[in-house]
Structure 1
Amino acid sequence: MRASRLLSILLLLQARGRLTARQLAELLEVSVRTIYRDVESLHAAGVPLYGDAGPAGGYQLLDGYRTRLTGLTSEEAEALFMAGMPGPAAELGLGAVVAAAQLKLQAALPPELRDRAARIQERFLLDAHGWYYDGDRSPHLAPIADAVWNQRRVQVRYRRWKHPTDVTRVLDPYAIVLKGGKWYLVARGGENIRTYRVHHVLDLEVLDETFDRPCGFDLAAYWRSFLTEFRSRLYQGTATIRLSPAGRRRLREVMSSAVIDAVDQSATAPDEAGWVTAVVPIESLDHAETEFMKLGAQVEVLKPHELRARLEATAQELADIYLSLSPAGRPAS
């Protein structure tokens, strides 16, 4: 256990440059005193590790020192290849880079780990896009990713939902997130950090200006907070519905997880025909009408009455269209 921790300290310093004893302790989940003892052991072993005192201090390896020992286990080697996403990498303009990196990793691995990694690639594939959506196609994705990496300020013309729909913004691009086949840009505009759909960027200009990323910005924490806030704003009401057995099965393919969970939690006991009644969240009347139409005659909306009336009217319009085209009522050609 201690040998593994010593190796972790080496690799962390090699990867991040300079870290304080407290930072190392938090990353390795040990006490600061333990880090002090480990650093002394590394010194005694001849590792060129030195520390600076003061607010900007910390431990650092001598420039140019890199350990060849990685301690890579078979499970870790497999995980590296499981994490490969050639599709999204290509969209970011990094497809060739990722392929080259994997080739170098394969060449560096000992034969037994190389074989295990190859089996992973032969047996597992990660496809981040949904069944009914092939993902965003934006000519601005690769240059935005480059601006994120090089901390270059950008000017975008962006299409949003509310009026005025097309706006121009100067942004400090912090990060890019891929979710459900859609790419999102996390960026600061003015005093606020916001999330922008890359697909809605109409024009992009990468400026000559650079910016400093805030050292305390935590992308994972920001994204969790953004999702929580987004979901809290997303659903503005509820609907009471009846579902047939076929409708309940179909619902799992076409509805959001929030609606599926609500049906599972609130569904009544099936009636004689197998239908259940449930209360589900809805975003808006327009959105709910479109979503429930996906289930056809396998769902009946009981409340709200305005949504039920909308669906009745749509169903009547569809019936009129198809009845007018039936053999009995088809217009003469």
Structure 2
Amino acid sequence: MVIKIGYEKGRVSLKLERLITIIMMLINKRRITSRELAEFFEVSVRTIQRDIDAINMAGIPIVAYKGYEGGYEILEGYKIDNNFVTEKEYDLLLKLLKGVENVYDDPTIKNMSEKFKAVKANDNVRIDKSIVMDFSHWGNSSRIKKKVAIVKEAIDDKVTIVFNYIDLNGKVSSREVEPYTLILKVNTWYLYAFCRLRNDFRLFKLTRLDKLEKTKTYFEAVDIEEHKLMTDKVDNYIDLKLRFHPSCMNRIDDYFEVEEMNFQEDGYILINTSYPEDEWVYSMLLSFGDKVEILEPNHIKDIIVKRVQNILKLYS
């Protein structure tokens, strides 16, 4: 999700992005002038001419035509054709970009989305509305976007960040971490970082970060293996056997797969599943009130009963 590039590499990346977009525009529009391209990319005509030379040198033959209907186009008969990127592929890419744009407020994403739209702007293409992708939470996402922006900036600048972290049990600790990677999993942002307090790499949920700030302390990044980014270090899994009231069907599919559901003749639903034992599990079970019965394990029953008794004391 996050690309870490320096200033010089960033300029190369922008040029490469421009070259790829020019190729796509030539594939779909057939012929286009250097002035049209220059206005679209907000660069000089001379820059576009250098880009065309670079594309030619890469092996894609671009022909220049002079006159009133002149312009650039890919040599007729060259093997790249309009099926290089199909209509469905364009549509899917636009949906993905739009979905990411809702949670990642980055100008590069917006620019890419606009460029893909521009490529097809003059075509009579029916937009497929059968699938909408939105990776954002329901409600206001401005706070999480601000956190993502601060962390992304710290990653690029290779400086540490400080924050108060609230764990699953509500315990607050002050942290200073070396940020490496932002991870968007389903609709939740995580930060993979080296924690100076724990002297190890940790995964932090951005919604649990409070008083987040960049520092001016630089750190030297080390190479990390991608497969370790979302490694599940939890080892306290428990096997749950639950019995839900039929009225819970509209909610239980938020937590369990249909393959885990055993529908009984009386309408009740038996579920056998495994979850890490933590505060989230207790809260999830309590949220169903008297519509769920914990059949196993017994120690989870005892924890829930004790919490219900504490709630009764609170209101008695």
Q: TM-score, normalised by structure 1?
A: 0.55
Structure 1 contact 242–302 (Cα < 8 Å) conserved: yes
Change (3 A) 1:147 1:250: closer
Structure 1 contact 242–275 (Cα < 8 Å) conserved: yes
Measure the CA separation in 1 of the matches of 2:258 and 2:201. Answer: 31
Measure the CA separation in 2 of the matches of 1:105 and 1:270. Answer: 50
For 1:27, the equivalent position in structure 2 comes to none
- CA drift of 1:128 comes to 1.3
Superposed counterparts of 1:1-333, under 5 Å:
48=57, 71-85=84-98, 88-89=100-101, 92-94=104-106, 97-109=108-120, 111-112=122-123, 115-116=124-125, 119-120=127-128, 124-130=131-137, 137-138=143-144, 139-148=146-155, 150-161=156-167, 165-171=172-178, 173-189=179-195, 192-199=200-207, 200-207=209-216, 209=218, 211=220, 214=223, 217=224, 219=226, 221-224=227-230, 226=231, 229-230=232-233, 232-233=234-235, 235-253=236-254, 255=255, 257=256, 260=257, 263-264=260-261, 267=262, 270=264, 273-284=266-277, 287-312=280-305
Change (3 A) 1:124 1:241: closer
Match of 2:149, SS state, is: helix
Measure the CA separation in 2 of the matches of 1:166 and 1:205. Answer: 17
- Runs of 5+ in structure 1 lacking a partner? 1-13, 17-45, 51-66, 325-333
Measure the CA separation in 1 of the matches of 2:305 and 2:205. Answer: 35
- CA drift of 1:142 comes to 0.9
Structure 1 contact 130–180 (Cα < 8 Å) conserved: no
What number of residue pairs does the alignment pair up?
241
Structure 1 contact 174–213 (Cα < 8 Å) conserved: no
For 2:41, the equivalent position in structure 1 comes to none
Match of 2:143, SS state, is: coil
Change (3 A) 1:248 1:280: farther
Structure 2 contact 102–136 (Cα < 8 Å) conserved: no
- CA drift of 1:297 comes to 2.7
Q: Deviations over 1:79-111 (max 9, x none)?
A: 22121236x5365442x5544443333334473
Measure the CA separation in 1 of the matches of 2:200 and 2:140. Answer: 31
| One-letter identity of the residue aligned with 2:285 | F
- CA drift of 1:119 comes to 1.5
Measure the CA separation in 2 of the matches of 1:129 and 1:178. Answer: 10
Q: What do you get for the CA RMSD once the two structures are aligned?
A: 4.3
Match of 1:177, SS state, is: strand
- CA drift of 1:169 comes to 1.9
Change (3 A) 1:160 1:111: same
Measure the CA separation in 2 of the matches of 1:203 and 1:317. Answer: 34
| One-letter identity of the residue aligned with 2:136 | H
- Runs of 5+ in structure 2 lacking a partner? 1-14, 18-54, 60-71, 75-79
| One-letter identity of the residue aligned with 2:114 | L
Measure the CA separation in 2 of the matches of 1:194 and 1:318. Answer: 34
Structure 2 contact 102–135 (Cα < 8 Å) conserved: no
For 2:37, the equivalent position in structure 1 comes to none
Deviates more, 1:76-85 or 1:158-167: 158-167
Measure the CA separation in 2 of the matches of 1:164 and 1:263. Answer: 33
Measure the CA separation in 2 of the matches of 1:308 and 1:170. Answer: 38
Q: TM-score, normalised by structure 2?
A: 0.57
Match of 1:83, SS state, is: helix
Structure 2 contact 245–269 (Cα < 8 Å) conserved: yes
Q: Deviations over 1:127-175 (max 9, x none)?
A: 21355x7658244321221233x3422232341438983233241x332
Measure the CA separation in 1 of the matches of 2:133 and 2:301. Answer: 40
- CA drift of 1:15 comes to 5.0
Match of 1:111, SS state, is: coil
Match of 2:184, SS state, is: strand
- CA drift of 1:300 comes to 1.6
Task: Report the structure, 1 or 2, having the larger helix content.
Answer: 1
- CA drift of 1:213 comes to 5.9
